[in-house]
Amino acid sequence: MSWPKNRLRLVVALLALVGLAGAYRALRPAQTDETATEGAPGGRRGRRGFDGPTVVTVAQPRIADVPVTIDAVGTAQALNTVTIRTQVDGRLIELAFQEGQDVKKGDIVARIDPTLYQAAYDQAVAKKAQDEANLANARVDVARYQKLAASNFGSQQQYATQKALVAQLEAQIRADDGAIDNAKATLDYATIRSPIDGRTGIRLVDVGNILHPSDQSGIVVITQLKPIYVVFTLPQQHLPAAQKAQARAQAPAVALGADNATALATGVVKVIDNQIDPMTGTVKVKAIFANERLALWPGQFVNVRLTVDTIRNAQVVPSAAVQRGPSGPFVYVLNDASTVSMRPVVIARQDEAQAVVASGLAPSEKVVTSGFGRLADGSRVRVLDATAAAPAGEAGASADSAPPRRGRGERAAGGARP
């Protein structure tokens, strides 16, 4: 009789367990859904964090004169480049410069052994002295023969012959002068001087070598760095604007660094080429720069910004304020009720820093310059003080993103409530 009682107790226990399990399954989904609804970002409490105003910064349009520029890429070229060569045969006995040294026009650069050329010069000078002595003697004789012929003590033929000898010796003196000048020039060629102001490069020959005028390589290359040229190309559609600017005055140009922002040197356009390259549709322009700081070097690639005009009294806003949409550019204008309105505008010119608004914006209106990710026409905004420091801006962004954490806190507090 004990076995049926134990069996009955086991059946009751199993039924009790099944009932508890069913009740647990019935209650668990309701709690989970309620918890998920309260805590999820899309839930009732989570959405309250996104209903707040969007933090933005604003700027007011300003009136300014905006230069109209054309950007191009150019190559720096030396104003003058000279390869120093010898004009006479001889042994190189001296290099009178240091590599990389600045030299002036007329400074001695090198010397060739002048022994042979000095001897030729001395010989020409001595030959002239000899001929001058003969001429002096012939002039004395011609005076004597003239007196004898006048008194009939001498023949007219002797007198005429002596006059011809004097003329011959005078011509010889003139030939001697030419020979002396030639010998002097050749002797001067043995001392090689710089023909321009510039900077020497690396020497191409060492002292002791025999040099000839026909040698392919010279002694050194001298390059004039101040001033310096920059040659760049413009698309043919920009040629009329460049010509108009050049007609008014020499158009200003700025050589920029690799960041396209740092000014290396300022100059003016020297010449616009007289033809357009039909293969590329571009025209060459040459600008000259003082290059006092030697920021430009021959062969260097530089960015060039050419100013061709100036827009006077233009309405300017930061480029960050201009957005692009299917219908064209637009800006968000700040309303009095701390909301923004989408406003289509016409942009006359824009670069990486500022944009010129031709129409669509009043001078007294303020435009939004940041926080576009959550903006739409009519959105509520909170303007961040433009003078606030960057950490304050970061703190504002953190405060704007704090509501999700408050949702979790409310959920935790709600879990603690009975």
Q: Rounded mean pLDDT of 367-393? A: 74
**To the nearest 10°, the Cα dihedral for 240, 245, 246, 249?**
160
Phi and psi at residue 298, in whole multiples of 5°?
-55, 135
Predicted local distance difference test score (pLDDT) of residue 62: 92
| pLDDT at position 389 over 60 | no
Q: Two tokens at 256?
A: 């920029």
Cα separation, 378 vs 29, in Å, equals: 40
Q: Do 319 and 355 meet the contact criterion of CB atoms below 8 Å apart?
A: yes
- pLDDT at position 414 is 37
Distance, C-alpha 183 to centroid of its chain: 51
Residue-level pLDDT at 113: 96
pLDDT at res. 147: 76
What is the mean predicted confidence (pLDDT) over 91-112? Answer: 95
pLDDT score recorded for residue 156: 77
Class of domain 54-63+314-412 (CATH, top level):
mainly beta
Q: For residues 237-247, give the mean pLDDT.
A: 94
**pLDDT-based confidence at 159, cuts 50/70/90?**
confident
Check residue 274 and give its pLDDT: 94
What's the pLDDT at 198? 94
| Mean pLDDT score, 269-273 | 95
pTM of the prediction? Answer: 0.64
165 three-class SS: helix
Q: What is the pLDDT of residue 416?
A: 36
Contacts of 43 (CB under 8 A, 6+ apart): 36, 37, 407
Residue 53, burial from CB neighbour count under 10 angstroms (0-12, 13-18, 19+): middle
What is the structure's pLDDT at 33?
42
Query: Is residue 97's pLDDT more than 60?
Result: yes
- pLDDT beyond 90 at 101: yes
Choice among 148-152, 158-162, 177-181, 290-294 with the minimum mean pLDDT: 148-152
User: Residue 32: pLDDT above 50?
Assistant: no
The tens digit of pLDDT for each residue in 71-87 reads: 999 999 999 999 999 99
Window from 4-8, 275-279, 286-290, 405-409 with minimum mean pLDDT: 405-409
Q: Is the pLDDT of residue 344 over 90?
A: yes
Query: How many angstroms separate the CA atoms of 306 and 315, rounded?
Result: 22
Q: What is the pLDDT of residue 28?
A: 56
pLDDT at position 276 is 95
- d(C-alpha 171, C-alpha 127), whole Å: 13
Q: Mean pLDDT, to the nearest integer, of 153-168?
A: 82
Q: Per residue in 321-340, pLDDT tens?
A: 999 989 899 999 999 878 99
Q: What percent of the chain has pLDDT over 90?
A: 59
Instruction: Assign 347 to helix, strand or coil.
Output: strand
**Whole-angstrom Cα Rg for the chain:** 48
Helix (H, G, I), strand (E, B) or coil at 309: strand
Is the pLDDT score of 205 beyond 90? yes
* 69-78+224-311 CATH: 2.40.30.170
pLDDT at 404: 40
Write down the mean pLDDT value for the chain.
83
pLDDT for the residue 40 = 39
Report the pLDDT value the prediction gives residue 353, as an integer from 0 to 100. Answer: 86
Whether the predicted pLDDT of 92 surpasses 70: yes
